[in-house]
Amino acid sequence: MLTQERYQSILSIINERNAATVTELALLLNTSESTIRRDLTALDEMGKIKKVYGGATSVSQNAGSFEDNVSLREGLMFGEKTEIAKYAASMINNSDFVYIDAGTTTSRLIDFIDNQNATYVTNGIAHARKLIQKGLNAYVLGGKLKPLTEAVVGAEAIANLGNLNFSKAFMGTNGIDLKSGFTTPDIEEASVKEAAIKTSYMPFILADHTKFRRVFSVTFAQLRQCCIITDALPDSKYSSETVIKEVKI
pLDDT digits (tens, 9 = 90+) for 114-138: 999 999 999 999 999 999 999 999 9
Least confident of 57-71, 104-118, 234-248: 57-71
In the predicted structure, residue 190 carries a pLDDT above the cut 60: yes
Are 27 and 87 in the same domain?
no
Question: How far is the C-alpha of 120 from the C-alpha of 50, rounded, in Å?
Answer: 35
pLDDT of residue 67: 52
Are 9 and 130 in the same domain?
no
In the predicted structure, residue 76 carries a pLDDT above the cut 70: no
Per cent of the chain over pLDDT 90 is 66
Q: Are 38 and 63 in contact (CB under 8 A)?
A: no
Find the CATH number of the domain harbouring 11. 1.10.10.10
In the predicted structure, residue 46 carries a pLDDT above the cut 80: yes
**123: in domain:** yes
As for how many domains the chain has, the answer is: 2
Are 41 and 126 in the same domain?
no
Q: At what angle do helices 104-112 and 78-90 cross, to 10 degrees?
A: 50
Are 106 and 186 in the same domain?
yes
In the predicted structure, residue 3 carries a pLDDT above the cut 80: yes
**67: in domain:** no
Listed in sequence order, the residues at least 6 apart from 66 whose beta carbon sits closer than 8 Å to its beta carbon are 16, 17, 18, 185
Are 208 and 87 in the same domain?
yes
Q: Name beta bridge partners: 170.
A: 100, 204
**68: in domain:** no
Are 53 and 149 in the same domain?
no
pLDDT digits (tens, 9 = 90+) for 85-120: 999 999 999 999 999 999 999 999 999 999 999 999
Are 49 and 82 in the same domain?
no
User: Which long-range contacts does 33-42 make (Cβ < 8 Å, 24+ apart)?
Assistant: 35/6, 36/10, 39/3, 39/6, 39/7, 39/10, 40/10, 42/7
**98: in domain:** yes
Of 198, 195, 167, the C-alpha closest to 98 is 167
Question: How far is the C-alpha of 71 from the C-alpha of 78, rounded, in Å?
Answer: 12
Could you tell me the pLDDT band of residue 19, with boundaries at 50, 70 and 90? confident
Span 25-33, average pLDDT: 91
Are 55 and 80 in the same domain?
no
Are 36 and 158 in the same domain?
no
Least confident of 74-88, 120-134, 192-206, 224-238: 74-88
**240: in domain:** yes
Mean pLDDT of the chain: 89
In the predicted structure, residue 188 carries a pLDDT above the cut 90: yes
Q: Provide the residue range defining the domain that includes 226.
A: 74-246
For residue 56, the surrounding DSSP H or E stretch is: strand 55-58
Q: Which tops the pLDDT comparison, 195 or 232?
A: 195
pLDDT of residue 53: 76
pLDDT of residue 71: 47
**At 128, is the secondary structure helix, strand, or coil?**
helix
Count of beta carbons in the 10 Å neighbourhood of residue 86? 14
**113: in domain:** yes
- pTM for the complete prediction? 0.74
Are 78 and 50 in the same domain?
no
Are 146 and 175 in the same domain?
yes
Are 97 and 206 in the same domain?
yes
**116: in domain:** yes
pLDDT of residue 150: 87
**120: in domain:** yes
Span 34-57, average pLDDT: 87
pLDDT digits (tens, 9 = 90+) for 145-178: 988 788 999 999 999 999 999 999 999 999 999 9
In the predicted structure, residue 70 carries a pLDDT above the cut 70: no
In the predicted structure, residue 4 carries a pLDDT above the cut 80: yes
pLDDT of residue 228: 98
Find the CATH number of the domain harbouring 235. 3.40.50.1360
